[in-house]
Chain A
Amino acid sequence: AQTVTQSQPEMSVQEAETVTLSCTYDTSESDYYLFWYKQPPSRQMILVIRQEAYKQQNATENRFSVNFQKAAKSFSLKISDSQLGDAAMYFCAYLYSGGGADGLTFGKGTHLIIQP
């Protein structure tokens, strides 16, 4: 069974600085998707960025980018120019794309604090 590990329970960064959140995963599959979701306090979870495993190019979405290392099974999220609104729980998630199982497997999350 696949697992997702986020080793940083909490991270803190100064506003306007850059922070990197770590995620590793374990799977025997070659076709899958990886996601970073953001869950602000008392608000619903929203997708930040997505990466298809077959793509070598790292995904980027404005200030958010990933470093996808397929051989190392690593998928980190970099947030540039951190803003107060980035404060939230961030979850890394895995989805097998080979058919059948369609539920996301999440890590335990990283609580990101933005210091003004």
Chain B
Amino acid sequence: DTGVSQDPRHKITKRGQNVTFRCDPISEHNRLYWYRQTLGQGPEFLTYFQNEAQLEKSRLLSDRFSAERPKGSFSTLEIQRTEQGDSAMYLCASKGQGWANEQFFGPGTRLTVL
């Protein structure tokens, strides 16, 4: 399967703990995106990378959130000092060159903060 993969698929943590999610994009895609989707809502853009450069961050990405894509391949999203409001599905997507190209989404990581 050469689609976008995310790990883990589910994460349960206690408030105040740190969590890290991983996304592996489609191999030839240079752009990688993170979105957050809460129950009953559409995905909300968090940040994106072109190769290893983080080019845009949403105001939703508080200072407790950090994303990296160190070698322009996989990416990690870390949430420090988790809060109950962080409970959501975190989606990763990747895209090749060109504005009209489709963003391919991964299955998501569902985070539950107790």
Interface positions of A (Cβ within 8 A of B): 4, 6, 33, 37, 43-47, 50, 52, 91, 93, 95, 97, 100-109
Which 9 pairs from chain A and chain B are nearest by CB?
A103-B45, A106-B42, A45-B105, A97-B99, A44-B107, A47-B102, A44-B105, A91-B42, A106-B43
CB contacts (< 8 Å) of A103 on chain B: these are: 33, 35, 45-48, 56, 58
Proximity bits, B36-77, A CB within 8 Å = 1, else 0: 000011111111100000011010000000000000000000
CB contacts (< 8 Å) of A46 on chain B: these are: 105
Whether B40 contacts A108 by the Cβ 8 Å rule is: yes
Whole-angstrom CA separation of A4 from B103 in the bound complex = 18
Residue of B nearest to A37 (CB): B105
CB contacts (< 8 Å) of B3 on chain A: these are: 44
Quick check: is B25 within 8 A (CB to CB) of the other chain? no
Whole-angstrom CA separation of A106 from B31 in the bound complex = 19
Residue of A nearest to B3 (CB): A44
